[in-house]
Amino acid sequence: MTDRPIRVRYAPSPTGHLHIGNARTALFNYLFARHNNGTMVLRIEDTDTKRNIADGEKSQIENLHWLGIDWDEGPDKGGDFGPYRQSERKDIYLKYVNQLLAEGKAYESYKTEEELQADREAQQANHEMPHYVYEYEGLSEAEKQAKIEAAKAKGLTPVIRFHIPADKTYEWQDIVKGDISIDGNTIGGDFVILKRDGMPTYNFAVVIDDHLMEITHVLRGDDHIANTPKQMAVYDAFGWEAPVFGHMTLIINGATGKKLSKRDENVLQFIEQYRELGYLPTAMFNFITLLGWSPKGEDEIFTKKEFIKLFDEHRLSKSPARFDQKKLEWVNNQYVKKTDPSELAALALSNLIEAGRIAKDPDPKTIEWTRQMISLYIPQMSYTAQITDMSSIFFDDRDSLTEDELKELADDNALPVIKAVAEKLHHLDTFAAYFVNELVNSVRLSSGVKGRKLYMPIRIATTRHMHGPQLAETIELMGRDKVLANIDKTIAEMTK
C-alpha cells in the first residue's frame, strides 16, 4: 500500500457498451476507492477512433450510474487533472513523445505494413515468437539519417517507436497475483507509442495519464499483464514511480468452463441487456462484486454500504470467476422479494408494453389492473421480463387443452364441480377474490369433493391452464366474462 492519497481510475474505451467484465473492473476500483476514502476517476480512452461507436461513452456512463457506481472526477464532472478524454490530451502526449525522441529513447520508424507482414511471416516460418525487427540495426548515424530521408522522400509518414532496453527484467508485487517477473526480451521488441494519425497508443497514453492524474493503484483484468512490462519501461524512461498493479482473474462461463467471450451467445454479457430484462441494479452490483472477490463468512447478499465496509483487495481471488446465469437469477430474485412492489410493477409494465401485451400509453384503469396482475407473480419472478410468459393466461386464448389437462378433467366429479362453479360465478354479486374463495368453499361443502379433484378442474376450466398464481385472485383479474367463456369452452371440449 502506498503512502500517497489513494487514487484509482476506470478507463473504458467507447468502442462498445458496458460489458460484465468491464463493469467488474469499474466496481472493484469503486469499492477500493470508497473503502479507503480515496478518489475514483473516470477516464475515456478514445484514441482508437476507427472503433469508437457513437454512443459508447454515453452507454458507459449511463450503465455505470445505473449499477450504482459514481466517481469524483471525469469528463462529465471535471476535476484538477483533466481533460478526462484522451482525444483531448493529444498535445500533452506529444510533449512527452518529443522528450523521448530528444533523449534517444524513441525514434521514427518508417517500416511499411508490407515489411512488417513479411517479418511476421518469416518469424512464423522459423517458429519464432512475433517481434519487431529493428530497422536501423547495424547502421551508422549517417546511414540511419539517409534511410530516414529516403523514406520521407517517398512521402511515408512514420510511427514513433519506444526503445525497449535490452536484457531487462520487469518485476512487480501484484495485489492479486503476487510476485510477477517478465523478461523484457519477450515482449515483442520496440513498440509504437505514436501512430501515423498522431494518436498515441494505449501503452504510452495510459502511462502519461496515470502519472499526471496521480493514480496510485491500477486494478484491471489479467489480460493486461502482458502490457505491464511495456508500461513499466515507459515509467522507467521518465524516472517516474509506477502505480501498484492488481490483475484480476478472468471470468469464465460457468456452463462451459471457457473464458467469457463477447462472441459467446449463450450468456448475456452487456449491462444494458440485463436492464432491459428487468434485473435490479442492486442485485447486479451484488452478483458482479462476488465474481472474483469474496468476503469472510458464508453470506452472499449485501448492501452497497456493506460491500464498501467489507472490501479487502487481498481477498480478490487468484482463481477464475465462474459466471453462473442461474446464480444471477437467484440473487436477483432475493432482491425482487424485498423491492417495493410499485417499482417492480413499473419495470414489468414496461416489459409487457415492449412485448405488445399492453398498449403503449395505457389508461389508469389498465395500469392498475396490470399492477395487480404483476403482484401475483412477484414471489417466483427472477427478473421482470419473465412476466411476459408467466402471465400468458391473461392474454392468450387457448383453443384446446393439453392431454395432461384433459386427464385431470376425466374424473367423474370434474364436470359437476365445474358446472356448479359456473352457476355461482354467474350470479356472484361482487366479483372479487374474497367472494370467489367463499364460492369455491361452498362448492366443496355441497359436493363433498376436495383437494386436487376440486381445485384442479376449477383452475383448468376458469383459466384454461393447469398451473398459475393464486386461483381466486386470478379469477378476479380475468373478469367474469372471460372466466365464464373459458368454462363454456372447457365444458364443450369435455362433452364433445
- DSSP class of 19: B
Cα Rg of the chain (Å, integer):
32
pLDDT of residue 2: 63
Residue pair 284/274 in contact (Cβ under 8 Å)? The answer is yes
Q: Report the alpha-carbon distance of residue 96 to residue 208 in Å, rounded.
A: 8
- DSSP class of 268: -
Task: Write out the E strands in 226-269.
Answer: 244-248, 251-253
What distance, in Å, lies between the first and last C-alpha atoms of the chain? 81
| CA atoms within a 13 Å half-sphere pointing along the CA-CB vector of 131 | 14
Omega prior to 75 cis, within 30 of 0: no
Determine how β-strand 39-42 pairs with β-strand 7-10: parallel
**All domains of the chain in start order, with CATH:** 1-74+249-338 (3.40.50.620), 91-194 (3.90.800.10), 340-396 (1.10.8), 397-495 (1.10.10.350)
Task: Tell me the β-bridge partners of 192.
Answer: 161
Residue pair 484/425 in contact (Cβ under 8 Å)? The answer is yes
Q: Report the alpha-carbon distance of residue 7 to residue 83 in Å, rounded.
A: 16
Determine how β-strand 178-183 pairs with β-strand 169-174: antiparallel
| CA distances (Å), origin 151, targets 82, 137, 145, 371 | 37, 16, 10, 72
pLDDT of residue 265: 67
* Residue listed under C-alpha cell 436477483: 332
- For residue 128, how many other CB atoms are within 10 A of its CB? 11
pLDDT of residue 56: 87
- Tell which residue, 218, 196, 212, 215, has the closest CA to residue 47: 196
Alpha helical stretches, state H, 109-227: 113-125, 141-153, 202-212
Cα dihedral 260/264/269/270 (nearest 10): 130
Q: Report the alpha-carbon distance of residue 243 to residue 214 in Å, rounded.
A: 9
- DSSP class of 125: H
Element (H, E) at 217: strand 217-221
- Tell which residue, 34, 68, 111, has the closest CA to residue 287: 68
| Amino acid sitting at position 178 | G
- For residue 210, how many other CB atoms are within 10 A of its CB? 24
Q: Report the alpha-carbon distance of residue 281 to residue 435 in Å, rounded.
A: 39
pLDDT means per 10 residues in the chain (496 residues)? 87 90 97 98 91 88 97 96 96 98 96 92 91 92 93 94 94 96 93 95 97 98 95 98 96 87 76 94 97 93 97 95 94 93 92 94 93 91 94 92 94 95 96 96 96 96 95 96 96 90
| CA distances (Å), origin 388, targets 280, 287, 357 | 17, 24, 7
Phi/psi of residue 280, nearest 5 degrees? -95, 140
